[in-house]
């Protein structure tokens, strides 16, 4: 478990993700304007002025921490499937996939709360063989039907040994901005960023039945670091 000092070190040694920079500038200007307005309307009411400043600071820091983008150094290994995101494991089960494989797979789902880092990272190294964006609903991310009913993207990466891994970005009740930076045919590297989801969401991994799952329900994951599963030898 990280100490307070380690958390502070981590916070001050990270960048702000590009998806949040414009929003943060606009929010900062807006909050300054709100504070100036209250200073004009209540110039002598210290309680009101301090309350507005504290509330504005909390709002700004909350949004700021959401868009943090820490540096991650992944140890590449073709036998391992790494976590595509920070969050908590909420589903481990066998499912029947009908979108790409048309057979049964092991599904591992990671829920990202609003306080998690929302950078999405490639779980394996390989070539993107399939990509599709789906419009859909905005059910809460832990809803059983969110994997097939919500707005989502589907990626399939083929490894050098021919094994294919499917994963999905899934929008939640708050997350209505799914971003991705790769396309079908791209060569991608394990641990590198492939996308971002704003304000809470979920990622599903569909793995071969022969994969050995290395996590349990409730486990916390770190994108590009935590080993989700070990793949069979070719």
Active site residues: 201
Name the one residue in this structure whose structure tokens are 């070190």.
9
Checking 74-78 for CB contacts under 8 A at 24+ apart, the result is 74/121, 74/190, 74/191, 74/192, 74/224, 74/225, 76/125, 76/189, 76/190, 76/191, 77/190, 78/124, 78/125, 78/159, 78/160, 78/161, 78/231
Tokens of 117: 């880092």
Contact 172, 150 (CB under 8 A): yes
Rg of the chain, C-alpha, whole Å: 20
Which distant-in-sequence residues (6+ apart) come within 8 Å of 22 by Cβ?
none
Round to whole Å and give the CA distance between 180 and 193.
9
């Amino acid at each position: 478990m990280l100490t307070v000092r380690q958390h502070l070190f981590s916070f001050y040694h990270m960048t702000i993700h590009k998806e949040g920079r414009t929003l943060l500038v606009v929010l900062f200007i807006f909050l300054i304007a709100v504070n100036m307005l209250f200073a004009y309307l209540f110039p002598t009411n210290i309680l009101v002025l301090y309350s507005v400043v504290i509330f504005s600071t909390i709002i700004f820091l909350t949004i700021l921490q959401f868009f943090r983008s820490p540096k991650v150094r992944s140890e590449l290994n073709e036998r391992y499937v790494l976590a595509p995101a920070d969050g908590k494991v909420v589903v481990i089960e066998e499912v029947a996939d009908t979108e790409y494989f048309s057979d049964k797979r092991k599904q591992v789902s990671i829920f990202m709360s609003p306080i998690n880092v929302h950078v999405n990272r490639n779980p394996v190294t390989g070539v993107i063989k399939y990509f599709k964006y789906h419009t859909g609903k905005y059910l809460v991310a832990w809803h059983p039907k969110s994997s097939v009913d919500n707005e989502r993207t589907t990626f399939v990466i083929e490894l050098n040994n021919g094994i294919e891994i499917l994963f999905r970005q899934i929008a939640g009740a708050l997350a209505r901005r799914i971003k991705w930076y790769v396309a079908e045919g791209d060569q991608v590297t394990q641990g590198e960023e492939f996308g971002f989801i704003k304000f809470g969401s979920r990622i599903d991994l569909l793995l071969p039945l022969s994969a050995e799952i290395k996590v349990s329900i409730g486990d916390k994951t770190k994108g590009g670091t935590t080993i989700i599963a070990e793949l069979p030898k070719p």
